[in-house]
Amino acid sequence: MVRLLLELAPCLLAGVWLGRRFPGLPGQLAPALLRWGMPLSLTGLLLKSGMPLSSIPMAGLIAAITSGGLLLCLQLPSLLPSRSLQLGAIVGNTGYFGLPLAIALLPSEALGFSVIYDLIGTLITWSAGPLLLSPDQSRPSALSLLKTPVVQALLLALPLGLTPWGTVLGQWLWLPARLVLWLLLLLVGMRLGLVLQRIHRDDDRQRLSLHAALAIKILALPAVMALATSLLHLPELMRQALVLQAAAPTAMSVLLLAEAADAQNNSDKETLPAARLVLWSSGLSLISLPLWFQLTAAM
């Protein structure tokens, strides 16, 4: 618990202050981090972890649980009335939040598992998300998915990992990769600071739907992942990595997709529920994630 707070809390809190003090800063910092920093960081993490290609079949498990959970949430419109809540209850902030979390709590060998989870989550978010929130817009192309940082990193790390220099490059990129992840956490904090300025008092219905989405994201989804990995007798390190990624707070990309949908429809129907979910799940995860870590360690 202390190690997690020391690793994550300073960057998040500093980011919240910076976001409220300098509202334009996230927009200036994000493009460079997403275009160059994130692919470089993920490449370094993949090379450092030893490229666990033998674990790639677990991607099927991740995709099945994530897709199944999303389909189930779509069948609960009375409980989760907005599309952003349905999506946000399932897809997590595995890149900006989950990877620093894995570094804080798990050995470097687990980073590959976490990156694979991030890859699957990213593909589902940016393929299903626009269809759910902006069904009238054109479908995302394969080229747009190839431009996501995690896919670019995988395409770069796979050939490098097969060369004699893969291990050395992983060592060289380790510190720059961690620096980028700290900057990404700072960016998350900045965006949370901006979210705080936009949220007003909830009514009872909004509060109920928010609580339902939080329960699914913070409790139900990681519980299902823990049960599935236990039944399949997956290695302990893999099980811990997958459960922690499943318990990560709602992805910032859900808020971005909601903002794009509302801009198209000239409303705030999706943005405000997404903003509340991102904010509360990020705060509660600082408590729930150490508990999930302790639980998986005891399994």
Gyration radius (Cα) of the chain, Å: 18
Domain 2-298 belongs in CATH node 1.20.1530: yes
Confidence of residue 203 (pLDDT cuts 50, 70, 90): low
pLDDT reported for residue 143: 63
Query: What one-character-per-residue DSSP string does 55-83 give?
Result: GTTHHHHHHHHHHHHHHHHHT-TTTS-SH
Per mean pLDDT, which of 73-87, 199-213, 214-228, 276-290 is the most reliable?
214-228
Q: For the chain, what is the mean pLDDT? A: 83
* pLDDT tens-digit readout, 147-195: 777 778 878 887 887 888 888 888 888 888 888 888 888 888 888 887 7
Query: Other CB atoms closer than 10 Å to residue 225's CB: what's the count?
Result: 25
Which residues sit opposite 184 in a β-bridge?
none
Q: What is the pLDDT of residue 281?
A: 93
In angstroms, the Cα distances linking 247 to 50, 176, 240, 291, 296 are 24, 26, 11, 10, 12
Nearest alpha carbon to residue 263 among 170, 134, 107: 134
Give the per-residue pLDDT at 196. 76
Q: Please state, in angstroms and rounded to a whole number, the distance separating the CA atoms of residues 272 and 23.
A: 18
Q: How many C-beta atoms surround the C-beta of residue 208 within 10 A? A: 15
Q: Which residue is it, tokens 């394969």?
A: 142
Given a cut of 70, whether residue 218 has pLDDT beyond it is yes
pLDDT at position 210: 92
Q: Detail the DSSP E strand segments found in 200-283.
A: none
Counting Cα atoms < 13 Å in the Cβ hemisphere of 76 gives 17
Residues 3-30 have pLDDT tens digits of 666 667 788 888 888 888 888 887 788 7
Asked if residue 246 lies in contact with residue 281, where contact means CB atoms within 8 angstroms, the answer is: no
The domain ranges of the chain are: 2-298
- pLDDT over threshold 80, residue 237: yes
As a whole number of angstroms, the longest Cα–Cα distance in the chain is: 60
pLDDT at 3: 65
Task: State the pTM of this model.
Answer: 0.84
